[in-house]
Amino acid sequence: MTTTLAGGRAARRQTMRRIRPRRSPAVPLVVALWAGAAAVLWLWWDNTPSLADDTARILAAGRITGLLAGYLMALVVLQMARVPALERRVGSDRVARWHAMSGRYTVCLVAAHVFLTMWAYALQAGRTLGDVVRQTVDSVGSLPDMGKAAIGTGLLFVIAFLSVGGVRRRMPYDTWYHVHLLTYAAVYLTYWHQITAGNDFAVQPTAKTFWYGLYGVVTALVLWYRVVTPIRLNLRHRMYVEAVIEETPGIVSVLIGGRRLHRMGAEAGQFFRWRFKAPGMRFSSHPYSLSAAPRPDMLRITVKAIGDHTARLRELEPGTKVWAEGPYGALTAQRRSRGKVLLVAGGVGITPMRALFETLPGAAGDITLLYRANSTQDLALWGELSAIADERGARLMYAVNSPGGERPDISAERLRQKLPDIGEHDVFLCGPPGFAQSVYEALREAGVPARRIHHESFEM
């Protein structure tokens, strides 16, 4: 059984009203980031006396790695704050990559800071390099706030280890997600020793004020967008499960009702983090894309059963309360820069593509959708896609394995055969990482500029 939620021309008119001149804050954000790092370097340099011996040089290196680690910690938390300017314009997956990269640098700087500082302290106390561990134990027991800093540092190292690709893939998503939230506690615990033990802040009241302001603003953003905003959204819209419908074997659609859902500001291509208040699911929050244009009285997600949480969705009862955070994501019509658009979906990546296929404005022949699946039985929402294609005069193609299991050819040559003017298209791409990477390379070889290949991963 399938269900159709079609907004048609009304959905496209709504999309047209949302389209704005394309802007990316990435460049000014990067400039601001480096400006902040330069300010930290200046603070260190301004408060660094003559480096007369090796001990002074080691201690100075420990100070600068500590200052940069403290600065990056604030950025790591900022990138977890779900600030709309970042989520919707830069893109959730890009912000996630920034967060991961900043986290790796932070852990490396923290490790260098601890080692170099304790080494310098050991030399000052007449000890050797081999006494660093002993010196660390003594410092934790004697210096202000060092006990909390040691606990916070330990948490950072644990989180970093569990975030390594091979380790993370072996963990249940919910476990990793909740452990990752301990980053907030780690940053809080390590913050105070920066103020009480940092010589730079002791001699520079302006620097201390800046540090308080930096962490204060980041904390306010986290509280507003991760706590207050979701509470307001859910109290206002009071969402619930209206129905669960099996689309194909292993894939279900969940229809979600509520009050004044059109005021949530959701767009086709975006996703929410969903929490269903059902037994065994109350503490699980997962990102799922909208699989149809948002309606004033209903939202829809379509999910493939690939784990415990996704498999339980088919068991949801009508009336189950829903808690959502969002909308997030930048895979929307605002990225479009050309009249012609190619949508490429792999597997359950069809969900945001289906919503865009319905709502992206365009004349007959302007919109093309290529759907990759293992077999024709796995082409979820195919009836809806066919109806949309007929109504709009859009092109709809699929690529499935042969009866012998041979994969279809989605090469640059094949793409040019199907769309001779593919180089003049915008391309929206969503699917598993391996599929997305191979299609991206084929598109580049076919002549599509990187700036017009729009991809966002929702595996966060």
**pLDDT (tens digit per residue) in 210-226:** 999 999 999 999 999 99
Q: What is the pLDDT of residue 334?
A: 87
Burial (Cβ within 10 Å: 0-12, 13-18, ≥19) of residue 179:
middle
Could you give the CA distance from residue 183 to residue 77 in angstroms, rounded to a whole number? Answer: 8
- Class of domain 333-455 (CATH, top level): alpha beta
Q: What is the pLDDT of residue 441?
A: 95
Q: Please, are residues 298 and 256 in contact by the beta-carbon 8 Å criterion? A: yes
Could you give the CA distance from residue 201 to residue 259 in angstroms, rounded to a whole number? Answer: 50
Q: What is the pLDDT of residue 47?
A: 82
CATH of 238-328, one of 1.20.1260.10, 1.10.3720.10, 3.40.50.720, 2.40.30.10: 2.40.30.10
Give the single-character DSSP code of 339: S
Domain residue spans of the chain: 26-226, 238-328, 333-455
Q: In sequence order, what are the residues at sequence separation of 6 or more whose Cβ sits closer than 8 angstroms to the Cβ of residue 438?
A: 410
Q: What is the pLDDT of residue 460?
A: 46
Could you give the CA distance from residue 119 to residue 387 in angstroms, rounded to a whole number? Answer: 70
Q: In sequence order, what are the residues at sequence separation of 6 or more whose Cβ sits closer than 8 angstroms to the Cβ of residue 450?
A: 444
Distance from the Cα of residue 94 to its chain's centroid = 6
Could you give the CA distance from residue 380 to residue 303 in angstroms, rounded to a whole number? Answer: 10
Q: What is the pLDDT of residue 142?
A: 84
Q: Give one DSSP letter per residue of 263-285, joined into a string.
A: GG---TT-EEEEEE-STTTTT--
Q: Is the pTM of this model over 0.85?
A: no
Q: Please, are residues 21 and 338 in contact by the beta-carbon 8 Å criterion? A: no
* Residue of 31, 56, 60, 58 whose CA lies nearest to 43: 60
Q: What is the pLDDT of residue 459?
A: 52
Q: What is the pLDDT of residue 34?
A: 86
Helix (H, G, I), strand (E, B) or coil at 381: coil
Q: In sequence order, what are the residues at sequence separation of 6 or more whose Cβ sits closer than 8 angstroms to the Cβ of residue 213?
A: none
Q: In sequence order, what are the residues at sequence separation of 6 or more whose Cβ sits closer than 8 angstroms to the Cβ of residue 186?
A: 152, 153, 155, 156, 159
pLDDT below 50 — which residues of the chain? Answer: 1-4, 10-23, 460
Q: Please provide the distance, in angstroms rounded to a whole number, between the alpha carbons at the two ends of the chain.
A: 30
Could you identify the residue written with the tokens 């093309």? 368
Could you give the CA distance from residue 423 to residue 419 in angstroms, rounded to a whole number? Answer: 9
Q: What is the 3-state secondary structure (H, E, C) of 218-247?
A: HHHHHHHHHHHHHHHHHHHHCCEEEEEEEE
pLDDT tens digits, 28-79: 777 888 888 898 898 888 888 777 788 889 999 999 999 999 999 999 999 8
Residue 270: phi and psi, rounded to 5, are: -90, 170
Q: What is the pLDDT of residue 9?
A: 53
